[in-house]
Amino acid sequence: MQKTVITILMCLCSAYAAFAGDSPQFRGPSRDGRFDEQGLLKAWPENGPAQLWVAKGLGNGYSSPSITGGKIYVPGMIDEKTAGIFILNLDGVIERTIPVGPETEDTQAPGPRSTPTIDGDFLYMISGLGEVYCLHIPSGEKKWSVNILERFSGPNIMYTLAESLLVDGDRVICTPGGPDAGLAALDKHTGETLWTTKGFSDPASYCAPIIYTYNGRRLLFTETANYLVCVDAEDGTFLWQMEHPTRDGIHAVTPVYMDGLVYYTGGYEAESGAVRLSEDGSSFEKVWQDNLLDCQHHGVVLHEGYLYGTSHMRGNHLVCIEM
């Protein structure tokens, strides 16, 4: 089943790869699910768009592909124990495979689940076991690796770690969920620790962190097992948390920002809503809350003041709400 899912993804992504710009990380160039594609069909043919190609031979996994420089990067299992990066050209041909390392053996969802982040000649990803890898793409060599659960004493979680790493300048930002290390920034060149978020500790969840600039201040947002969290993106200073309970600590949807408002959502009976940031971003107030758009893990997209996504416990519908 996992191989079939990856194959379908590659078919869908091929049209994008052939005509649009790069997508070097989770949810596109800006991590927000928006793509500046031009010339899209106003209506699809009755039987849907024509299939351009199908890629076979990809190992099990749950990651999205990343696309950059005319290549497609897909994490998957090489064998029963080892994950790797399958590198395809834009015709769907596997050109080579880079072995990465051990991966989770979760019987319900075996294989890598982190979408790789590509920065120049380097690829960054995290295994379900907490190992952060920096790979040199041209040579296929591992430049460094760090197990963030061991370094920062964080617990692993029900379905094992699945966040997609955020590269910000010289920093690789991740969520160890350890004591005084709820979040951490690693030097992207060496793997050394640059900062940790002290004064906040909560197990990680499955959310990919994101940075927004508000009143000249760069703020980092994510969801952990129990909270919506905001820290200063420059040094990791903890600013605030808002309790956001959900079943089994499952939060997989990246927060969305617009005009001082931050939208949060989640499946598994979690509430959704928006908070308004204070002038310097160091505090917040709740603006509204409901559960109409309780997105499980697909993510939501903001377009012209409206949020688009799919509901979970409310019937798996496509939903549009005003921010």
pLDDT 10s digits, 56-112: 999 999 999 999 999 999 999 999 899 999 999 999 999 999 999 999 877 778 899
Q: Which residues, including other chains, have CB under 8 Å from residue 219's CB and lie 6 or more apart?
A: 211, 212, 213, 230, 231, 232, 233, 239, 277, 281
The answer to whether position 65 is within a domain reads yes
Is residue 161 helix, strand or coil?
coil
- Cα distances (angstroms) measured from residue 252 to each of 39, 127, 169, 302: 31, 16, 24, 17
pLDDT value for 13: 41
Contact of 224 with 204, CB cutoff 8 Å: yes
| pTM of the predicted model as reported, rounded to 2 decimal places | 0.91
Cα distance between residue 92 and residue 15, in whole Å: 11
Cα distance between residue 137 and residue 100, in whole Å: 12
Cα distance between residue 189 and residue 158, in whole Å: 31
pLDDT value for 105: 77
- Cα distances (angstroms) measured from residue 133 to each of 57, 130, 160, 248: 23, 10, 16, 27
Is residue 150 helix, strand or coil?
helix
Question: Which has the closest alpha carbon to 112: 64, 70, 182?
Answer: 64
Cα distance between residue 265 and residue 227, in whole Å: 11
Enclosing H/E stretch for 98: strand 94-102
Q: Which domain holds residue 142?
A: 1-149
Summarize pLDDT for 227-255 with one digit per residue, the tens: 999 999 999 999 999 999 999 999 999 99
The answer to whether position 89 is within a domain reads yes
Question: Which has the closest alpha carbon to 249: 187, 177, 193?
Answer: 177
pLDDT value for 40: 86
pLDDT value for 20: 55
For residue 135, report the phi and psi dihedrals to the nearest 5 degrees.
-110, 135
Cα–chain center distance at 102: 20
Contact of 182 with 224, CB cutoff 8 Å: yes
**DSSP for residue 174:** E
Cα distance between residue 235 and residue 220, in whole Å: 10
Contact of 161 with 204, CB cutoff 8 Å: yes
pLDDT value for 5: 40
Q: Which residue has the tokens 């129990």?
A: 226
The answer to whether position 27 is within a domain reads yes
Total domain count, the chain: 1
Name the token pair of 198. 């002290």
pLDDT value for 156: 96
Cα distance between residue 62 and residue 123, in whole Å: 17
pLDDT value for 149: 98
Q: Which CATH number does the domain housing residue 140 bear?
A: 2.40.128.630
Enclosing H/E stretch for 221: strand 217-223
Q: Which residues of the chain have pLDDT under 50?
A: 1-19
Question: Which has the closest alpha carbon to 207: 232, 224, 231?
Answer: 224
